[in-house]
Chain A
Amino acid sequence: MNNNNFKNIILENIVTLFMKVMVIYSFYLLLRGHNNPGGGFIAGIIASTGFIFFAIIHGTKALQNIIKFQPQLFIASGLSLVFIAAFLPVIISKEILTGLWIQTKIPVWGEFHLGTPLIFDTGVFLVVIGVILTIVISIMEVLKWN
C-alpha cells in the first residue's frame, strides 16, 4: 500500500495533532496514576495508540523520524529504569523493590510524595510503548507500509 497515491492533508494534520495530544495526555495519566485512574501501563498504551495512528497515515518512516530512537531502545531504557527502581533499596540494605519515598511540602500544592514507584511506573510506561511499537512497526514493515 503506497500512501503517495492518496494524500489527504486534512487527515494527516488531524492525526499529527491527535498523536501530540495522546502523548501529552499519556504523561498526565502517568503522573496522576498513583492516586487517580491511570498509571504506566495505561499511559503507555495511550501514547502508543497515538503513534500507531500516526504511522498508519504517515507510514513507519515518518514515525521513526519523529521518535528518533529505535523502539527497542524504549524497551531497554524502560527495563533499566525498572531495575534501578528495584535495586535502589538494596543499596541501603532493604529488600528488593521496597518503595522509597521523599516527602516534602510544597507551598500551594501541599503534601508531596516522590518515590521509587514513580521510576518503576515510568519504566513500565517506556516498556509498553517500546513493545507495542516494536510489534506494530515490525508488522507494518512486512506489509511495506512505509
Chain B
Amino acid sequence: MSEYLPLLIGLLFLSGILVTVLYPIFKQRLGWVLSLIPLTIFVLLLISLGDIGTQTIKLLPSDFSLLPGIDFAFRMDGLSAIFGLLITGIGFLVVLYASWYMKNYNRQAHFFSYLMFFMAAMTGLVFSDNLMGLFIFWELTSVTSFLLIGFDHHLEKSRQAALQSLLITGFGGLCLLFAAILIGQIAGTYQISEIIASGIDFTAHPQYQLIFILILVAVLTKSAQFPFHFWLPGAMQAPTPVSAYLHSATMVNAGIYLLLRMHPVLSGTILWKYSLILAGVITMFLGAWFSMGQKDLKRILAFTTISALGTMVLLIGIGTPLSIEATLVFFIVHGLYKGGLFMVAGIIDKSTGTRDITVLSKIWKPLPATTIFGVLALISMAGLPPMLGFVGKELVYVAKIHLPGISWIILPLGVGANIMMVAISLTIFVEVFYTKSKKPAIPIHYTEKKLPWYFILGPGVLALAGLLLGLFPAGLNQVIANALFVTKNQVVDVHLLLWHGFNEILLLSIFAILLGVIVFVFRKPVTKFIRLTIKWFDIYHLPTIFMNVMNQYLKIAGKYTQRIQHGYHRYYLMTFFVATLAITAFQINWNFTELVPLGGFSTIRLNIVILLMVSSLAVLFAVFSMSRLSAILSMGVVGYGIGLLYLLYGAIDLAITQFLSETVIMVLFVMVIYYLPKFAKLSNKRSRIRDIIISLAVGAGVTIVVLHSRALNNYEPISNFFTENSLLKAHGRNIVNVILVDFRALDTLGEITVLTLAAIGVFSLFRFTIKKESK
C-alpha cells in the first residue's frame, strides 16, 4: 500500500494548486472535498502500519532527481508513520473545521490553497528520505506558514507576526541547508537511509561541532525554543484553524522530528546532550511560567505549547531509550490535546466573540458538547488519568528520574512546569466552562445547536482519541516500538500502562497535582506576581529587540545601497565599463606575453572593409551630430551594418533577428523623439574629455580581447556537439533554433522570463504615470 504514498503527497500539492479551479464549483463545500485527501493518506498509513514490521524501513526511491543526488525519495518507517498519522489525521479535522470557521472570510480559496500546500510540505518533510528533499519541504513549511499566519494581512500585527516567524524559521532553514551540505559532503550521499547505513562516525568528525550547532539552530528556531520562542505567541494572529494545525502536531514539531531523525547520526556526545537539555529545560519552564500570566485563551495555549516543545527537546537530549519513548508518547499526547484545545478556543471565539478568560464564563450551558471535549483535553494537558496525557506524563517523569547526574535540577523544574499545567487547566476550566462562577454569563452569538456538527467534530474526535488511547495505551506499543527502532537502532519492548501501581512516580504526580491545586486557589496573587516578572523581562522583550535589530539592519542596508544604487544612468554605465575594462586588462596583462597579437589574419575581404567603413562613419556622425534624429538614424545604420556582417558570415537567423529588432527600436525612437525636450549641451568640457578617454579605452580593450579570443581554444568548442546531434537527436536542421528550443531550452526559458519581467516593469511604470496624470 505504501507505494502510493508519494503519489498522495503529490496529490496534496496538486490540490493546493487546484483550489483555484475547484472553489467556484464547490464554494462552501470545498473543505469537504479537500479533506478527503488527508483522510485517504491517514487511512493508507493506518493500513500500512501492519506492513511495516518492527525493524523494516520501507524505501520508496524516485526516478526523478532535481540535481544529481538530490531527489524526492521517500521512506516509510515507524517514526515517519507516527508523525504522518498525526499530520494527516489532524489535517483532515482542521480542514473540515476551517470550512465553517472561514466561511465569512473573503479569500477562502487562498486560505485552503495555503493550507493544502502547508499540509503537503509537512507530509513531505516527515516522509522524505533525502536530506535535501527534507530541507526543501522544511523551507516550504516556513513559507506557507508565513502565508497562513499573515492571512489577515490588512492587520499590521498579522503582517509583523508573519514576517517575524518567516525570518526566524527561514534563518533556521538556512542553517539546516548548511548542515545538510556538510553531512552530505562527509557521507558522500544525501539519502538519510544510506547515511545511517554507512556507519560513519559523525561524532568523531572534526566538523561535528559545526554540524551540530547548525542543526541545533534549525531546531531551536523551528520548534520555538528559547531564545527563539517568541515567534510562536506572535503567530497567534493567524486564524484559529491555522493555530490548531501549526502548533499541535505540525510546524513546530518539525524540529522535534529532525532531532529524532538525526538521532542515530549525531547523538551521543556531551555537546548534544547538554545543549538540548539546557534549551529544553529553560523553554519548558519559561513557557509554563509565562502562560499563567496570559489572558487570551490562544496565547495561554501558545505558551503551553512552548513548554511542551521544551519538554520534548529536553527528553531527546536525555537520550535513553526510555526518554525517547516518552518523547514519542508525549508528542502524540500533545498533538491530540493541543489540537483539540485550539479548536475549542476557536469555537468559543466564534460563539461569544472573545477569547479573554476574564470575560468568558459559563460556557457549559450554551456549548455542552464543546465543554465536554474541552475538559477532556484539559485533563489530558494537566496529566490526570484516565487520559493519554497521564500516561505520557508518567513516562516523562520516569525518564527524568532515571537520568544519572543532573536529575536533581531537571526533575524539580519538570514538576514545576507540571504544577503550572495543572493550575492553568483548572483556571481555564473554572473561568470558562464552570457554571457556578460569580462572573455574569457572557452573551452568545451561536449556541451549539446553530453550529454545524463538523465544526465540533474536530475537538470531539481528538478528545475521544485521547481518552481511548489513555484507557487502552497498549494499542500504541507496536507503533512506538517501531519508531524507537528507527531512532535508537535497537529493539525495545514498549509496554504502555495507564496504572503503574503505587510507586514514587505516582507520588510525584499526586504531589504535582496537589501543588497545582494550591497554585490555582491562590491564582490571583500568583498571576499578579507572574505578570510582574513578565514586566521585568519586558526590558528584554525579545520581539521588540528582534524588530529593532531588523530595522537597524534595514537602515544600514538602505544607506549602503543608496551609495551604490544612486540612480544616475550615466554613472552606472561608467562604472560598468571601467570595471570591465580594468578586470580584462588585468587578465590580459597577466596571462599573455604580447599585448596585441598581430598576424595570422585571414585575407581581408573588400565588401567587409566597405561595410566597416560605413559603420565607422555612422558612429562618428552619431557622436558629433547636433540633432537627435540624425544621431539615432546613424546608430540604426550601425545596427544594420552589424546585421549585414552576420549575413556575410552565414548566420541568417542572427541577421534576421538583428534587422528586426533594429527596426522595432528605430520605430520606438522615432515615436518618442517628438516628445523629448530640446537638444542641449549640458556637460562641460572636462566630463566630455573624461568620457572620450573612457570610451576609447573600452573600445581598444574590446578589440584586444577579440583579437586574443580568436587565437584561444582551451577546450573543444561545444558547437561541434550541436552540429553532430542537431538532426539526429533533436530532429532539426536549423542549429540555431535547435539550440534555442532544445539543447539550451533552459536558457531560453530564463530569457523569456526576463523579457516578461521587463514588460511588466515598463507596463507598471507607464500605468503609474498615466494614473498620476489623470488625477
Contact = CB atoms under 8 A, between A and B. Distances in A.
A37 B64 contact: no
Nearest to A76: B756
Contacts of B762: 134-135, 138-139
Contacts of A38: 653, 656, 734, 737
Contacts of B522: none
Interface residues of B, number: 46
Nearest to B65: A95
B439 interface: no
Interface residues of B, dominant DSSP: helix
Contacts of A130: 756, 759
Given A117-B742, A134-B763, A143 B660 contact: no
A35 B766 CA distance: 40
Nearest to A42: B656
Interface stretch (A2-10, A12-20, A61-69, A121-129): A121-129
A46 B660 contact: yes
Contact of A39 (B733, B736, B759): B736
Interface residues of A, number: 52
A17 B39 CA distance: 61
Given A128-B752, A142-B766, A40 B672 contact: no
Contacts of A88: none
Contacts, number: 139
Interface string B223-250: 0000000000000000000000000000
B731 A101 contact: yes
A41 B740 contact: yes
B696 interface: no
Contacts of A121: 737, 740-741
B769 interface: yes
B737 A56 contact: no
B656 A37 contact: yes
A52 interface: yes
Interface string B624-665: 000000000000000000000000000011001100110110
Interface in B735-775: 736-738, 740-742, 745-746, 748-749, 752-753, 755-756, 758-760, 762-763, 765-767, 769-770
A121 to B, nearest CB: 5
Given A38-B734, A93-B64, A117 B745 contact: yes
B20 to A, nearest CB: 14
Contacts of B514: none
B730 A143 contact: no
Contacts of B652: 37
A86 B734 contact: no
B716 interface: no
Contacts of B672: 139, 143
Nearest to B661: A45
Given A79-B756, A124-B741, A37 B766 contact: no
Given A34-B737, A38-B734, A39-B736, A82 B752 contact: yes
A96 B769 CA distance: 41
B741 A117 contact: yes
Given A52-B664, A135-B759, A142-B769, A40 B741 contact: yes
Given A39-B653, A45-B661, A96-B746, 19 more contacts: A34-B741, A35-B732, A40-B741, A42-B657, A49-B663, A49-B664, A75-B759, A78-B752, A79-B752, A90-B64, A115-B731, A117-B745, A121-B741, A127-B756, A131-B758, A135-B759, A135-B762, A135-B763, A143-B675
Interface of B: 63-64, 652-653, 656-657, 660-661, 663-664, 667-668, 671-672, 674-675, 729-734, 736-738, 740-742, 745-746, 748-749, 752-753, 755-756, 758-760, 762-763, 765-767, 769-770
Closest 8 CB pairs of A and B: A138-B766, A34-B732, A39-B737, A45-B660, A131-B759, A35-B733, A134-B759, A117-B741
